[in-house]
Structure 1
Amino acid sequence: MSATARRARLYVEVPEIMVGFDTETTGLSSRSDRAVSYGFVVYESGTVTREEHFFVDPEIPISAGAQRVHGLSYDTLREWREDGRALGFAAGVNRAVSLLASEISRGAVVVGANVALFDLAMLSSNYQWVHQCSLSREIDLRRVEVIDVVNHDVAIEPREMASRRRGLPYLCQHYGVTPGGHDALGDARAAVEVFLAQVRRNRQSLLAPRLASDPDDPVEEARRWLQARKRKVVG
């Protein structure tokens, strides 16, 4: 097991407030591409309490590959902007940042698939484009707790133990979750549902009898963390 895998946190409890976050975009570069839709799903105590989904005219071309994935064309989004079904690029960025900042201020944990490396990075670069300053003026991402269900899955089953693919559609299949279908709202919801399924699996692993105790095993680390938490509550 790699040092990174040993340090990865294995969750056995569900955060009180979570916000699933996903974007569909003009391409694969978080630096030079732009979001064309944003999806947010807020969970409180494991239950959906709020959903937000909106489309954006990116004001730049959409790559053919991205269009094949999400089905949104440049012309369609321009038309939707004209009739009020889509926001302008700057308005979309501002709305997304406002929604995310509001939930984070309530203590929400951000959940997604590759969400830090792609979706939050995309939002950060898009904000920089619009405001010519860092997103840290509104959200300090260094202080935000983020759960990436891909990384969490690697903590559960390291790559050397399971070579299966880890993208969100494959995780949905693996954990029996309805896939989002490359729809920002659907994928945001699917990511949180995958996380909830992962936590259920982790709890089952903690309850299962174990023949040997490996101090570097993430399940054993989670077991010790849970026991320490129980002692703290009782004390």
Structure 2
Amino acid sequence: MFTIKVIFFDTETTGLDFRSDSIIELAMLTVEDGTKTDSYDEFIDIGRPISPKISKLTGITNDMIRNEGINEEKVAMDLRERLTEGTLMVAHNCQFDLLFVYSLLARHFPDDANEIVSNLNWLDTVSVLKDRKKYPHRLIDAVEYYDIEKVNFHRAIDDTKALYRVALAMKNERDDLKDYINLFGYNPKYGVSGIRFPFIEYKPQMFHQRIVAPDFTLPNRK
């Protein structure tokens, strides 16, 4: 499927606001020339307790963070090492994960964070899914739509494995994923969440009840 370096990635966080919340688990599945070459999954010890609500949602406990977590600076260094120029980064609701990754990098490499993220390419599978399937558009819904074996959702490494299989199914369904690179759809009712990155094109996007003709997909819609 992929003839370039692709990283399927996912974050679990303490909340929804990248300015005040933090990543507590980061997972990356690297595929090069169609072969899985690296799997990365780390808990991050953020130095403060996570809420019972987040523990219930993610299955990540404070004991797991304390006993298995590594410090955020080490994760930032691991990220910078892997995010080589031209890498395609794939996430489900990519704007959310991009915001948190950028925020983490900016805390530890303030002079380099902008260059790191702008030298990458970004693909949001939610934007693709909205052009193909009915609401809702969570990753678990995509897994069901494409009849993919379920994983332990809301654990980041399992989400990346599911995302990889979803992307393969999407490509087999219609080979236009490349047209969505660096193009994010957003709900016009709510606007773009967080930062509008200059290397991403943002377009208002509503969802459809079925797969739409190529001329009406987000990349081709005027």
Is the Cα contact below 8 Å between 1:26 and 1:61 reproduced in 2? Answer: no
Secondary structure of 2:46's aligned partner: coil
In structure 1, distance between residues paired with 2:3 and 2:90? 10
Give CA deviations for 1:8-56 in whole Å, capped at 9, x if unaligned.
xxxxx74533110111111222221111111111112333222111111
Asked if 1:165 is matched to 2:136, the reply is yes
Task: Tell me by how many angstroms 1:112 deviates.
Answer: 1.1
Secondary structure of 1:59's aligned partner: coil
Give CA deviations for 1:183-218 in whole Å, capped at 9, x if unaligned.
111111211211110110115xxxxxxxxxx77334
Q: Which runs of 5+ in 2 are unaligned?
A: 176-212
Residue of structure 2 equivalent to 1:174: 145
Q: Which moved more, 1:183-192 or 1:61-70?
A: 61-70
In structure 1, distance between residues paired with 2:144 and 2:132? 16
The normalised TM-score by structure 2 is 0.72
In structure 2, distance between residues paired with 1:134 and 1:14? 28
- More helix per residue: 1
Secondary structure of 2:20's aligned partner: coil
Match among 74, 77, 82 for residue 94 of structure 1? 77
In structure 1, distance between residues paired with 2:49 and 2:39? 28
Residue of structure 1 equivalent to 2:158: 186
Secondary structure of 1:156's aligned partner: coil
Q: Which runs of 5+ in 1 are unaligned?
A: 1-12, 204-213, 222-235
Residue of structure 2 equivalent to 1:60: 48
- RMSD, aligned CA: 2.7
Relative contact order, higher structure (CA 8 A, sep 6+): 1
Is the Cα contact below 8 Å between 2:2 and 2:32 reproduced in 1? Answer: no
In structure 1, distance between residues paired with 2:174 and 2:214? 16
Task: Tell me by how many angstroms 1:123 deviates.
Answer: 1.5
Residue of structure 1 equivalent to 2:194: none
Identity %: 24
Letter in 2 for 1:113: H
Asked if 1:122 is matched to 2:94, the reply is no
Residue of structure 1 equivalent to 2:168: 196
Secondary structure of 2:60's aligned partner: coil
Is the Cα contact below 8 Å between 1:38 and 1:96 reproduced in 2? Answer: no
The normalised TM-score by structure 1 is 0.68
In structure 1, distance between residues paired with 2:159 and 2:79? 16
Match among 43, 51, 56 for residue 31 of structure 2? 43
With over 3 angstroms needed to count, the CA separation of the structure-2 counterparts of 1:215 and 1:184, relative to structure 1, is closer
- More strand per residue: 2
In structure 1, distance between residues paired with 2:47 and 2:125? 31
Task: Tell me by how many angstroms 1:134 deviates.
Answer: 5.6
Is the Cα contact below 8 Å between 1:70 and 1:182 reproduced in 2? Answer: yes
Greater C-alpha radius of gyration:
1
With over 3 angstroms needed to count, the CA separation of the structure-2 counterparts of 1:198 and 1:123, relative to structure 1, is same
Residue of structure 1 equivalent to 2:13: 25
Is the Cα contact below 8 Å between 1:21 and 1:40 reproduced in 2? Answer: yes
Query: 1:76-87 residue pairs with structure 2 within 5 A?
Result: 76-78=64-66, 80=67, 85-87=68-70
How many residues were matched structurally?
Answer: 183
Secondary structure of 1:198's aligned partner: helix
